[in-house]
Amino acid sequence: MITVQRVLKAAGKHGSRAALRLRALAGARAGRHCPACGTDVVGFFRYGERRDWGCPACGSSPRERLMHYLLDLGMIAVPQGAALLHCAPNEASLVARFRGRAGDYIPADIDPSRYTVQGMQRVDLMALADAARFDRIYASHVLEHVPDDALVLANIARALKPGGEAWLIVPLWAKPSEDGPADLSGRERERRFGQWDHVRQYGPDLADRIAAAGLDVEVIAARDLPPADVARLGIDDVLFRARR
């Protein structure tokens, strides 16, 4: 669905990327670094209201760079040979990193035809029936799309092996989570939740929803990381680390 908001975001992104290219050609210092591709860059391009959003070399997002940072520091880890379910695998750098560590790597989406990732499978988290199969489940910007997040979180909890972890990232605001009715129009969803296909907007109380599914929750927020690292690497967002 093409909306004015999406068009403006795209236009701003392309303009910001062009400005970064000009700065690089003019000899600006590459004082920033992308942990997703390992490139030193002069800055990160804008996307919507978010400054310092995308890497001009690889296109990585702040949440993608956050994941690499946490993995690089060992704050989170994929065990060698792990079984890993990667939901909506849009981030090529994480696809490569996870595939290189996992013995059973499952890239999946409810509509796998939208992806070019090798080995894509169709998985509907609303109908996920696996029990104690996965060591890790990664779902970034997925939960805000599912009709029944309580059911999905319960399915994720059941699908994890004992000691397994789900790594969950969603768009957040500071207010309590708000769910929309099923018949809400795409335009109204965009107005209320930021995107036409979002069915809710999460707040920090997502941690309570995860805990209600029987998982232990640790919140890892970019704002709590060393400020110098956050600025240099352009990292942002909040990871909800849920353990069975």
pLDDT of residue 121: 98
Cα–chain center distance at 62: 9
pTM for the whole structure: 0.91
pLDDT of residue 4: 57
Token pair 């809400």 is found at 184
pLDDT in tens, the chain (244 residues): 556 566 666 666 778 888 888 888 888 899 999 999 999 999 999 988 888 999 999 999 999 999 999 999 999 999 999 999 999 999 999 999 999 999 999 999 999 999 999 999 999 999 999 999 999 999 999 999 999 999 999 999 999 999 999 999 999 999 999 999 888 888 888 888 888 889 999 999 999 999 999 999 999 999 999 999 999 999 999 999 999 9
DSSP secondary structure string for all residues of 52-115: EEE-TTT---HHHHHHHHHHHHTSS---TT-EEEEES---HHHHHHHHHH-SEEEEEESSGGG-
CA–CA dist 106, 123 (Å, integer): 10
**Closest alpha carbon to 176 in 143, 149, 219, 207:** 207
Where along the chain do its domains lie? 1-60, 63-243
Our CA angle for 213, 239, 125, nearest 5°, is 45
Name the architecture of domain 63-243: 3-Layer(aba) Sandwich (3.40)
pLDDT of residue 10: 63
Strand partners, 33: 40
pLDDT of residue 13: 77
pLDDT of residue 82: 98
